[in-house]
């Protein structure tokens, strides 16, 4: 099933994101997480590929296949392109097809300083066109309410986003953000320039200080004063920080849903406890 139909049927889509476990840990850890996430009935689950610039491998496809065939939930496989040749991308696409995976989140990929890019693809929009030309997949893309960290300006970034949508991206997921005001003003700008596809808000619950610091470096999200005070206050009490982080995400999501957002994409970081706490609170609002 292509996920476009979800946005036609539902008032607000709720989706989750997981990442493949590190090579040093067993693949079974993700199955336990998925079993727990299944009970929360998300509309789809996406699986990252080489997140943060790590090397990708076949595990994204394998996990997406299990999501579809064992758990009967629609999967979206992330696919990054800067470190691949066209032949390599062809092989990945063939494998996704063989596994009956219909949805791809087409990304440029984080630049890994120890790998030199292959130069077949430079931007996500080139991967979007390439996949659309092959046919058979629903393609989504990423977007940046605060502008991409490499972008000259938000306006320039939005122009490139329009190219990505014109190339065939039928749905967008935002980079994580902690202040809804950026999302609302971004939405106004993108609708103004004629981007009409559904846009899901990407929300990451803050669960520990080190993780959030890593994310801010990677994603460039601003930390509002309220969140920074919270991080300081609970710096040495991880359990309290987790509960406060869940509450913060619930507040953000409640506000987004009440203002009519197309969907919520929860970056679960493979933590099913947090996904459950948040889903239980917001399910009734969707
Ligand atoms: N691995 C994963 O699962 C995920 C990774 N990401 C990361 O987000 C980052 C960006 O990915 P995308 O949004 O897919 O990249 P993108 O290619 O859409 O944009 C990347 C940068 O290039 C600029 N740009 C785009 N088209 C351009 C053009 N034609 N000429 C000049 N500049 C252009 C954009 O303004 C932006 O600064 C990457 O770092 C990606 O890995 C985001 C979500 C998930
Ligand atoms: N620039 C960028 N790159 C991404 O990969 C990315 C985004 N932004 N924004 C949204 C999500 C967040 N994602 C991420 C980002 C980092 C890790 C990460 O640090 N993973 C650790 C493992 C963490 C753990 O085991 O707890 C790793 O080392 O792979 C995972 C997913 C993927 N996405």
Q: From atom 28 of ligand 2, which residue's Cα is the shortest distance away?
A: 22
Closest Cα partner for 67 from 7, 19, 25, 9? 19
Closest ligand 1 atom to residue 122 Cα is 17
Write the ipTM.
0.93
> Please, are residues 164 and 157 in contact by the beta-carbon 8 Å criterion?
no
Determine whether 74 is an active site residue: no
Q: From atom 22 of ligand 2, which residue's Cα is the shortest distance away?
A: 22
**Residue 212 CA to ligand 2 centre (angstroms):** 11
Closest ligand 1 atom to residue 123 Cα is 17
User: 51 CB under 6 A from ligand 1?
Assistant: yes
Closest ligand 1 atom to residue 19 Cα is 3
> Please, are residues 104 and 87 in contact by the beta-carbon 8 Å criterion?
no
pLDDT tens digit at each of 286 positions of the chain: 999 999 999 999 999 999 999 877 787 899 999 999 999 999 999 999 988 777 767 899 999 999 999 999 999 999 999 999 999 999 999 999 999 999 999 999 998 888 888 999 999 999 999 999 999 999 999 999 999 888 889 999 999 999 999 999 999 999 999 999 999 999 999 999 999 999 999 999 998 888 888 888 889 999 999 999 999 999 999 999 999 999 999 999 999 999 999 999 999 999 999 999 999 999 999 9
d(CA 215, CA 15): 20
Domain locations in the chain? 12-285
Give the count of beta carbons closer than 10 Å to the beta carbon of residue 124. Answer: 27
- Cα 242 from chain centre: 21
CA atoms within 13 A on the CB side of 150: 8
CATH number of 12-285: 3.20.20.220
Start-to-end CA span in the chain (Å)? 21
Q: How far is CA 230 from CA 140, 235, 273, in A?
A: 34, 8, 20
Query: Could you say which ligand is closest to the alpha carbon of residue 110?
Result: 1
């Amino acid at each position: 099933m292509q996920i476009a139909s979800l946005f036609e049927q539902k008032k607000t889509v709720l989706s989750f994101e997981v990442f493949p476990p590190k090579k040093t840990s067993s693949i079974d850890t993700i199955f336990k997480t998925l079993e727990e996430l299944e009970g929360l009935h998300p509309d789809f689950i996406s699986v990252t590929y080489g997140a943060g610039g790590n090397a990708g491998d076949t595990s994204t496809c394998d996990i997406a296949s299990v999501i579809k065939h064992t758990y009967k939930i629609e999967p979206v496989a992330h696919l990054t392109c800067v470190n691949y040749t066209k032949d390599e991308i062809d092989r990945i696409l063939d494998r996704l097809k063989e596994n009956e995976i219909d949805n791809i989140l087409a990304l440029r990929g984080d630049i890994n300083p120890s790998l030199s890019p292959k130069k077949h693809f430079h931007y996500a929009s080139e991967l979007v066109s390439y996949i659309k030309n092959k046919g058979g997949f629903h393609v989504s893309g990423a977007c940046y309410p605060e502008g991409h960290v490499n972008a000259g300006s938000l306006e320039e970034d939005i122009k490139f986003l329009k190219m990505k949508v014109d190339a065939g991206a039928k749905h967008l997921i935002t980079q994580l953000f902690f202040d809804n005001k950026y999302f609302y003003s971004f939405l106004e700008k993108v609708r103004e320039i004629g981007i009409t596809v559904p846009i899901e808000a990407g929300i990451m619950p803050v669960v520990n200080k080190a993780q959030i610091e890593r994310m801010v470096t990677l994603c460039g999200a601003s930390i509002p004063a309220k969140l920074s005070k919270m991080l300081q206050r609970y710096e040495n009490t991880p359990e309290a920080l987790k509960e406060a982080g869940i509450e913060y995400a619930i507040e953000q999501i409640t506000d987004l849903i009440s203002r009519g957002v197309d969907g919520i994409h929860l970056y679960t970081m493979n933590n099913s406890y947090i996904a459950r706490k948040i889903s239980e609170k917001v399910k009734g609002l969707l």
